[in-house]
Amino acid sequence: MLAFLLHRILHAFFVMLGISFVVFILIHLSGDPAAMMVPEDATPQQVQEIRERMGFDRPILVQYGLFLGRALQGDFGYSYRIRRPALDLVVERIPATLRLAVTSAVVSLGLGIPVGILAATRQGSFFDRLSMMAILFGQSMPTFWLGIMLILIVSVQLGWLPTSGYRGPEYIILPAVTLGLYTSAMVARILRSSLIEVLSHDYIRTARSKGLADRTILTRHALKNAAIPVVTVIGLQIGYLLGGSVVTETVFSYPGMGLLAIQAIRGRDIPVLQAFVVSISAVIVLLNLLVDVLYTYLDPRIRY
Amino acid sequence: MNEQGNTVSARRALARVQSRRRFLQFAAGGLVGTAALLAACSQASDEQTPGGEDAGPGTSSTPTVATQPGGETPTGSSTRPIVIAQGVDIASFDPHEDTSTVAIAVFRNVFNSLVERDHELNLVPALAESWQTIDELTWEFQLRRDVLFHDGNPLTSKDIKFSIERVLDPSVNSRSRTRVEVIDRVEAVDDYTVRIITREPFPPLLTILGYLYALPADKYQEMGSEQFAVSPIGTGPYKFVEWVKDDHIILERFEDHWGGSPSIPSVEFRPIPEAATRVASLLAGELDLATLIPITDIPTIEQRSDLDIRTVPSTRTIFIGMNTWNPPFDDVRVRQALNYAVDVQSIIDNLLGGHGLRIASVSGPAEFGFNPNLEPYPFDPEKAKQLLAEAGYADGFQTTLDTPVGRYLQDLEVAQAVAGYLANVGIQVEVRPAEFQEYFTRWLNLEIPGLYLLGWGASTLDADGVMGGHFHSKRRGLYYNSPESDRMIEEAMSEFDPERREAIYHELMAYLHEQAPWIFLYVQEDIYGVKADLRWQPRSDELLNVHEMSWS
């Protein structure tokens, strides 16, 4: 187990290294950062002055080496736009984004698990077919469109909830539903098929034949075994809820990391963008590690 | 960037993730890509729009004696606050640190400059009540004696000297410095007299003074720049109350403002980046004023009796530039032919819903030096074909048209329409859309081979902005310049008499009209959605001066 963990941590380190490299190169290929730091009407001399001062005139691998050296010490540089340490800006936004991610996860599990169970236990019923359609719908709706539709219906037509911003608990409902609906559809679908498969196993028939109540069979025997693929999906989806909040946060002007990232992209704020992508990637890599460890608890047959 | 530009909206959700490994790869590239897509779809200039930033003063820049400050200030007081939504939040409340249009729109409520522009964009005295030139390099300003900062202390020449020299100090590394580098130093002659000394003769000095705000010298030093940037003190009609980043800014009426107390008691600015959400908030009654309304949402807002659409020609010119060093665009007949070939009015009517103003040369009517006597090239495909034939291109030719996407209203659609018109006269155009930053970098590096679509707003509202930025060999005439344009541009910049200066620009604009280095298109309109009972007309310079607003 320890060897496995060390191996995985080493692996994660190289993944992070790769991510940082790709991100760095992509950002620098997408336009001259110096030209973006001065007004459009700046003279070529002024642009050149910035380029030299910021070190953008050096070879890109040298720039990457310098970036990496500082990043390993947690220094992503200063935000061009706000002139504060880039990592601080990202870290400040974590609570807001986490709050949204957790609320969305509650929506997604609260909706996805019951629907998945009901659909699996009533396979082929009207409810099952209805829920499968709803799931298809939930998975194919773009977040952006769903968010706007919710705003137009719930806020504009009905006037029940505020459209955007964050000043209290009621502000989180629409973004959380927007973000959670997609994952809830995923959870329901995976749980349904996993449960259907488990319920067809011999040991379930045995349990049934020895007279156990359906409820007991479900909670004691079936659910735990059906949970493994669901845990994988949830692990992945938390990454989605964090990273995917870019779109949702923008639609709802919700002041989290995603909104910060969008502003960084628009304002060509490279340090903030790098700090954001690397932080999100780190979280996702970490979650993967956790999911792998969780497997061993859920399925004793899995040993590393 | 400003605002810019651009707006941003993502139509596609993040790609589905099938496997964890793929998600990791995706995390690196995908996030960036999606965000860029987001940024691309929003309508033009949501955020930083460097071209259109602020407006220095402009029309006439000779010394005059002060009349009343500030345009028409509404009278009467009200208890109803106003809520205004723009596309982005400000980056800092230190007014010299964020030069984007949205930030200036906020700052103008809290801070003042020596001279400012009134609603019609005329240069008017503000903190300075009069001024005169002592010699070619020295300007002397008399300050008003009744100006108080929000903390109750009076404004003196010491504050002006401090504020300007702080921006000029290279060690401060101010974002506003590149725009005012022509200023050498500031001298405080007595408490209410300051002299500004420029490095070289600079007739449009007043047009850049709008970039410089009066800050309280002692208080600023006492607070330090970081503290000041989150709890600013100015001399403007509204004083700072609260700023919650990315959520709201609240300002409150300053009763002791030198120009009189404004009508609306307080104002809240909210950043709402997504245009569709901004419109929804307006429809839901959460906002009193929203900027940058997409053309497609105009009918929805107009249907509502309690809401209004209000528009104004902006200071942003949209045009198709040509690389005049490369054939066939090195031939003036070809360049003119392109102007005859495109039905600009039809593009304005069909793609912009009529929200554009056709222009005949390189600047719009808001700018000093605009030549109102020029007529746009008529739409005449036959004439275009004839000119092409004379130039030896009777069978047309192939070229490219580079364009940003989502930077300006309907930019890609306009580029495609232009390509369509050019195809009608035999010119095969490949439209190459790109993300603005990447595109603009290529533009700066002279890497555009054929045609390009660009928007341009002279931040000073003075013709020198566009001239230096596009047509002077030693400044930034990247894609066109000539000895004639150089000569006239330099002549205008050494002429202190505004009438003679304007005459030079008229001649220069006529010359450029003839030379046709661009396909001259239009000036974009800014579109605002407002509560119908708000008394306010939008300004061409995109400022949101709350003291110019009142409730009816």
pLDDT digits (tens, 9 = 90+) for B204-231: 899 899 889 999 999 999 999 889 999 9
Q: B96 contacts in A (CB within 8 Å)?
A: none
Contact at CB, A288 and B53, closer than 8 angstroms: no
Pick from A40, A81, A236: CB nearest B20 = A236
Looking at the fold, whether A95 and A58 belong to one and the same domain comes out as no
d(CA B116, CA B213): 10
Pick from A19, A32, A145: CB nearest B441 = A32
Looking at the fold, whether A248 and A163 belong to one and the same domain comes out as yes
Pick from A40, A232, A250: CB nearest B38 = A250
Domain boundary among A42, A72, A102: A72
Q: Between A202 and B226, whose confidence is greater?
A: B226
Looking at the fold, whether A166 and A196 belong to one and the same domain comes out as yes
**Rounded percentage of chain A residues whose pLDDT exceeds 70:** 96
CB proximity under 8 Å: A 113-152 to B: 139, 141-145, 148, 151-152
The residue ranges of chain B whose pLDDT is under 70 are 1-77
pLDDT of residue B75: 53
Q: Between B492 and A240, whose confidence is greater?
A: B492
pLDDT of residue B56: 33
Q: A36 contacts in B (CB within 8 Å)?
A: 1, 437, 440
Residues in chain A: 304
Contact at CB, A280 and B92, closer than 8 angstroms: no
d(CA B418, CA B413): 9
Looking at the fold, whether A162 and A219 belong to one and the same domain comes out as yes
Q: Is residue A7 a part of any domain in this protein?
A: yes
pLDDT of residue A28: 78
Q: Is residue A42 a part of any domain in this protein?
A: yes
Looking at the fold, whether A167 and A220 belong to one and the same domain comes out as yes
pLDDT of residue B476: 84
Domain boundary among A16, A37, A72: A72
Give me the phi and psi of A208, to 5 degrees please: -65, -40
Say if residues B530 and B288 touch (Cβ distance below 8 Å): yes
pLDDT of residue B256: 95
pLDDT of residue A302: 67
Looking at the fold, whether A213 and A162 belong to one and the same domain comes out as yes
Domain boundary among A24, A44, A72: A72
The three-class DSSP label of residue B264 is: coil
Q: A39 contacts in B (CB within 8 Å)?
A: 50, 53, 99, 178-179, 459
Q: How many contiguous H segments (helices) and E segments (strands) does chain A have?
A: 14, 0
Which residue from B minimizes the CA distance to A44?
A: B476
pLDDT of residue B64: 37
pLDDT of residue B25: 38
Residue whose token pair is 């990232």: A261
Pick from B36, B245, B247: CB nearest A167 = B247
- Whether the per-residue pLDDT at A211 is higher than 60: the answer is yes
Q: Is residue A176 a part of any domain in this protein?
A: yes
Alpha-carbon Rg for chain A, nearest whole angstrom, is: 24
Contact at CB, B32 and A31, closer than 8 angstroms: no
Is residue B405 within a helix (H) or strand (E), and if so which, with residue range? none
DSSP string, B109-148: HH---SEEE-TT--EEESSEEEEEESSSSEEEEEEPS--B
Number of domains into which chain A is organized: 2
Quick one: average pLDDT of A1-12?
80
Q: What is the CATH number of the domain that holds A223?
A: 1.10.3720.10
Say if residues B465 and B458 touch (Cβ distance below 8 Å): yes
Q: Between A213 and B104, whose confidence is greater?
A: B104
- DSSP-derived pairing of the beta strands B451-456 and B397-404: parallel
Say if residues A217 and A201 touch (Cβ distance below 8 Å): no
Q: Residue A92: count other Cβ atoms within 10 Å of its Cβ.
A: 15
Q: Between B21 and A207, whose confidence is greater?
A: A207
- DSSP-derived pairing of the beta strands B238-244 and B183-190: unpaired
All residues at 6 or more sequence positions from B160 whose CB lies less than 8 Å from its CB, including other chains: B114, B127, B141, B143, B186, B188, B194, B214
Q: Is residue A62 a part of any domain in this protein?
A: yes
- Whether the per-residue pLDDT at A87 is higher than 60: the answer is yes
Q: Is residue A81 a part of any domain in this protein?
A: no
- Under the banding of pLDDT at 50, 70 and 90, the label for residue A24 is confident
Pick from B13, B28, B441: CB nearest A35 = B441
Q: Is residue A80 a part of any domain in this protein?
A: no
Q: Is residue A79 a part of any domain in this protein?
A: no
- Across chain A, mean pLDDT equals 83
Pick from A35, A156, A235: CB nearest B280 = A156
Say if residues B432 and B418 touch (Cβ distance below 8 Å): no
pLDDT of residue A82: 80
Nearest C-alpha neighbor of B428 from the set B386, B482, B387, B388: B388
Q: How far is CA B231 from the centre of its chain?
A: 26
pLDDT of residue B444: 86
End-to-end alpha carbon distance in chain A: 6
Which residue from B minimizes the CA distance to A12?
A: B24
Contact at CB, B274 and A253, closer than 8 angstroms: yes
For the packed helices B411-424 and B344-351, what is the interaxial angle rounded to 10 degrees?
A: 140
The pTM of this model reads 0.81
Looking at the fold, whether A57 and A104 belong to one and the same domain comes out as no
pLDDT of residue B366: 86
Quick one: average pLDDT of A152-165?
90
Q: A137 contacts in B (CB within 8 Å)?
A: none
Contact at CB, A246 and B444, closer than 8 angstroms: no
Looking at the fold, whether A39 and A93 belong to one and the same domain comes out as no
pLDDT of residue A223: 79
Please give the interface size between A and B, counted as residue pairs whose CB atoms are below 8 Å apart. 220
Is residue B528 within a helix (H) or strand (E), and if so which, with residue range? strand B518-531
Q: B274 contacts in A (CB within 8 Å)?
A: 148, 250-251, 253
Give me the phi and psi of A130, to 5 degrees please: -60, -45
Looking at the fold, whether A50 and A140 belong to one and the same domain comes out as no
CA distance A56 to chain B (A): 13
Pick from B1, B13, B23: CB nearest A144 = B13
Contact at CB, A273 and B8, closer than 8 angstroms: no
CA distance B390 to chain A (A): 36
Looking at the fold, whether A37 and A91 belong to one and the same domain comes out as no
- DSSP-derived pairing of the beta strands B307-322 and B518-531: antiparallel
Q: How far is CA A183 from the centre of its chain?
A: 10
Looking at the fold, whether A185 and A275 belong to one and the same domain comes out as yes
Residues in chain B: 552
pLDDT of residue B407: 82
Q: Is residue A157 a part of any domain in this protein?
A: yes
Looking at the fold, whether A173 and A41 belong to one and the same domain comes out as no
CB proximity under 8 Å: A 245-284 to B: 246-247, 250-253, 255, 259-263, 265-268, 273, 276-277, 280-281, 284
Sign of CA dihedral B171, B176, B180, B181: positive
Say if residues A108 and A184 touch (Cβ distance below 8 Å): yes
Range of the domain at A292: 86-299
Contact at CB, A156 and B277, closer than 8 angstroms: no
Pick from A82, A243, A261: CB nearest B92 = A82
d(CA B195, CA B157): 9
Q: A46 contacts in B (CB within 8 Å)?
A: 178
Q: A155 contacts in B (CB within 8 Å)?
A: 280-281, 284
Q: Between B347 and A129, whose confidence is greater?
A: B347
For testing contact with chain A, the best of B175, B274, B440, B472 (most A CBs within 10 A): B274
Pick from B47, B50, B445: CB nearest A39 = B50
